[in-house]
Each structure stands twice: as C-alpha cells, then as structure tokens.
Amino acid sequence: MSLARRQADLVVALVTGGATPAGFDAARVTAAREQLMRKRAGEVAAAWPALSASFGTRWYAEFSAWASGRPPRGSLRDGWDFARSQSSLDALARAELAAREAGWRYDGTSPRRRSAVSRALVMIGARFSSS
C-alpha cells in the first residue's frame, strides 16, 4: 500500500472514527483520537469563548458529540457550525454568534468578510429582529 493511502487510512481512523488500520494498536488509536478531539475542543473554545462558556462543564461532552465523525475545518468554522446547530443559545453566546454573522458572510463553506455597507445592514436587521 502506498504511503499516501496508509496516511489517509490513519487520518480517517483518528478523525472520523473509521476502522483502526491493520497493525495499529486499537487502544492507542482510540487514545490519539481522544487527544485530537480534546485539542480541537480547546481550540474552538478559544475562538468562541461565549459559546463554550455557555455550556459550562458540559462543553467537551456536547462539542465532541457533535464533532465526532466530522473532520475538523478549523476552529472558526467548527464553532460556527456548532453554534448554528444549537436550537437555543444563552444571551452572550447569541451575541457572539450575531457579531460573527454580521461581520462575515458564511455559507457553510468559507467565511468572507462583509463589506461595511453589508455589515451595517445586517446589524440594523438584527436589531429589529432580536428581542
């Protein structure tokens, strides 16, 4: 098997919970998968402090349950997708998400900074729709 294929198989196992590749110690792969998830959750918490604080001690459990099986897309997008997936957020987490939505246009693929006019219009709309 080529190096490329072997590396891809390992990444899939570690990041999406795919099968442990042949010859690897399954317990170590599990430990590494958890290590990667802890690191990822920490980075998302740093990028989205109000979001993570709103979960308190449940942050890791909630984020990792959502993120399991989803490859990392960077802490900005991971936090954004996770925040959007929540049916309700506390006031500070809502404000944090709203500020990001106002400043950036995010279609689920790549965030793009909004123009000044676009940002102003979004903020005006948000002021009238939030209560």
Interacting residue ranges for another protein, rule: CB under 8 A: 2-4, 6-8, 10-12, 14-16, 22-25, 28-29, 31-32, 34-36, 39-40, 42-43, 46, 71-74
Q: Which is nearer to another protein, 5 or 58 (CB)?
A: 5
Tell me which amino acid residue 131 is. Answer: S
**Nearest Cα residue to 71 out of 16, 131, 116:** 16
Nearer to another protein by Cβ, of 4 and 117: the residue is: 4
> Of 93, 36, 111, 43, whose CA–CA distance to 85 is shortest?
93
Nearer to another protein, 19 or 31 (CB): 31
Q: How far is the CB of 54 from another protein (least distance, A)?
A: 20
Least separation in angstroms between CB 34 and another protein: 7
Contact predicate 79/51, CB 8 Å = yes
Report the sign of the C-alpha dihedral through residues 21, 27, 32, 38, in that order.
Answer: positive
Closest approach, Cβ 29 to another protein, in A, equals 6
